[in-house]
A and B are shown apart, each in its own frame.
Chain A
Amino acid sequence: MRHKLFASILLLWLLVSVFGPLLPLTPDQIDLPNILAGPGIEHLLGNDELGRPVLDRLIMGAQTSFLVAIWVVAISAVCGTMLGAFAAYSGGIMDLLLVRIIDVFLAFPGILLAIALAGVMGPGIDNVIIALSIVGWVGYARLARAQVLSLKHRDHISAAIALGQGRIPIVRKHLLPLIAAPLIIEATFGVAGIVIAEAGLSFLGLGVQPPAASWGSMIRDGARYMLVAPHLVLAPGACIMLVVLSINLLGDNLRDRLDVRIG
């Protein structure tokens, strides 16, 4: 029951993110008579400080968070896994170098470096994706490296080497499928982390720029009117919390089912 509820929330997030642009929404339409109006029949979640419908802007924000999360996790997971897997398989100086680079990146509190990078590169969704990917690849690289190190001396790898297979086919065909499960789980939790990080950067004014909406920027703008229109803060925050909670539960569930221990 509980899992169905959270799966439905994730499905809804996915659907409104993918099909949102097809809906007849008016997220940017200023409606001065309805400034800070509370939830009602015409506008289910009320209107913001410019009279724009909060529900429509939430859907627009869902698209932003989904887009950023998918891009960042895809870029980080692919780059991190490739680097980690090849370095571990090759060993020697390459592996040593990667370990040192990982150590340095891990020395930065992740969100701090992302804030500094996004701040220096300038606001915008592209720079948010770049900043979060620069920070995000490290976790996947570390995990892929550790997994490959524990697998590379197995018999089937020795057999592949004896058959004359090259480094790339061995990693791609014989190692990646074996390390996929923990990486999928890492990526699942990664999506939750990126949803919060994107909203955090947008809250600081470093994410999407007006009139585009992000759940984070909606909270920042709504905080000024909290006493008279708390729905402006409550609605986007509840969306972030529900999506992140659902993803975390999905991750927990996947971890139990695939019987993987990461740590």
Chain B
Amino acid sequence: MNTGYIISRLSSALLVVVGVVSIVFLLIHLVPGDPVEVMLGESAHAADREALRAALGLDLPLLQQLFNYFHGLASLDLGQSLHSQRPISNILADRLPATLELAVYALLFAVVIAIPLGIIAAVRKGSMADVGAMGFSMLGVSIPNFWMGPILILIFSLWLGVTPVSGRSGVESVILPAITLGTALAAILARMVRSSLLEVLNEDFVRTARAKGLPESKVIWRHAMRNAWLPVITLMGLQLGTLLGGAVITETVFSWPGLGSLLVESIQKRDYPVVQGCVLVISLAYVVVNTLTDLVYAAIDPRIRLGEDG
């Protein structure tokens, strides 16, 4: 991979990061009326309001505030929680592992379901298996996770008693949240694996592999799938954002102690600096994953490079 492409991709990611930080910074200024009054309530003393205004830096000119926000970020200082008075970076660091664990298990679930399903649907195109797989795919993107979660809890936790209702306590507690979060991704991935594999199966090299007398499993895995991975990997990178966004609702359903439930709790407590922190960390994680996906994509496919693909 040429270094020009890497530099160009990284610099465009840096611009996006600056934009993301700016929007997250402006979030607190979207509070209708006086944000300090909204946070403290109308009955708060004027002195408390002024103290909070000064603590948040809201008494400074907007550009100065933005500069201070960037400056704070550079040293991982996101301010303090209005509710617990703890540094926001510490609160986020406490919650991040739970969200990452959930995202990894959800991704794992999606891949384990989607790849065999997509392959079977492509190899047996038009069969009942194909219709069933695509039916699952259509259902998977249509079932909202805030409905699926409670139904899974009803069946597996309340009726069968095989999984905990909520919380994070051991591997068994991640099963239902991961299924809830991963189903939509599994549905989208299964579709992509199917269409990507169908395209490759019509290529000459697959016909050649079959003509050589290779068993069908080797034709699929060694020849067809190796070429069908690229769009699937890209889609996985792009969908990670949806996964992280969906984690907000899934974590709330299962009281999973991650960044998503922290975001909702902070909105309810009007702890807006923590809201800013949650949005910032999740979005930056998304930017990093997308940039890495692009770089991996370019590394494994020499056709996809800046300037070569237009």
Per the bound structure, the CA–CA distance linking A22 and B32 in Å amounts to 35
Check A200–B249 contact: CB distance below 8 A. Answer: yes
B60 on interface, CB distance cutoff 8 Å:
no
Check B146–A199 contact: CB distance below 8 A. Answer: yes
B272 on interface, CB distance cutoff 8 Å:
yes
Per the bound structure, the CA–CA distance linking A204 and B146 in Å amounts to 9
B143 on interface, CB distance cutoff 8 Å:
yes
Check A248–B242 contact: CB distance below 8 A. Answer: no
Check A100–B15 contact: CB distance below 8 A. Answer: yes
Per the bound structure, the CA–CA distance linking A121 and B17 in Å amounts to 24
Q: Which residues of A contact B (CB under 8 A)?
A: 100-101, 103-104, 107-113, 115-117, 119-122, 192, 196, 199-200, 203-206, 216, 219-220, 223, 226-227, 230, 233-234, 236-237, 240-241, 244-245, 248-249
Chain B residues in 8 Å Cβ range of A119: 263-264, 267, 275
Q: Is the interface of A mostly helix, strand, loop or mixed?
A: helix
Chain B residues in 8 Å Cβ range of A223: 150, 253
Decide: A111 near B248, CB < 8 A? Known: A119-B275, A230-B154. yes
Per the bound structure, the CA–CA distance linking A163 and B48 in Å amounts to 66
- Least CB distance from A128 to B in Å reads 14
Looking at the complex, which of B65-73, B82-90, B134-142 is the stretch in contact with chain A? B134-142
Per the bound structure, the CA–CA distance linking A237 and B263 in Å amounts to 24
Check B263–A116 contact: CB distance below 8 A. Answer: yes
Which residue of the partner chain A has the closest CB to B243? A109
Check A107–B142 contact: CB distance below 8 A. Answer: no
Decide: A115 near B23, CB < 8 A? Known: A108-B279, A109-B244, A199-B146. no
Check B283–A226 contact: CB distance below 8 A. Answer: no
Partner of B245, one of A112, A203, A205: A112
Chain B residues in 8 Å Cβ range of A227: 154, 158
Per the bound structure, the CA–CA distance linking A104 and B263 in Å amounts to 21
Which residue of the partner chain B has the closest CB to A237? B147
Chain A residues in 8 Å Cβ range of B151: 233-234, 237
Chain A residues in 8 Å Cβ range of B153: 226
Check B16–A110 contact: CB distance below 8 A. Answer: no
